[in-house]
Amino acid sequence: MKYRAVIFDLDGVICDTDRYHYLAWKKIAGEIDVHFDETINNKLRGIGRLESLEIMFGSRSEEFSEPKKHELAQKKNQYYRKLLQSMSPQDLDPDIKATLDQIKTQGLTIAIGSSSKNARLILKQIGLDNYFDAVSDGTNISRSKPDPEVFLKASAYLGIEAPYCLVVEDAKSGLEAAIAAKMDTAAIGDAVKYGLADYQLEKLSDLLKYV
Q: At a CB cut-off of 8 Å and minimum separation 6, what does 139 contact? A: 117, 119, 120
**CA 186 from centroid of its chain's CA atoms:** 14
Catalytic residues: 9, 11
Q: At a CB cut-off of 8 Å and minimum separation 6, what does 103 contact? A: 6, 110, 207, 208, 211
Cβ contact 188:201 at 8 Å? yes
CA-nearest of 21, 2, 24 to 10 is 21
On the question of a cis peptide bond just before residue 146, with omega within 30 degrees of 0, the verdict is: yes
Q: At a CB cut-off of 8 Å and minimum separation 6, what does 34 contact? A: 56, 57, 58, 60
d(CA 113, CA 138) in angstroms, rounded, equals 9
Q: Which helix (H) or strand (E) holds 187?
A: strand 184-188
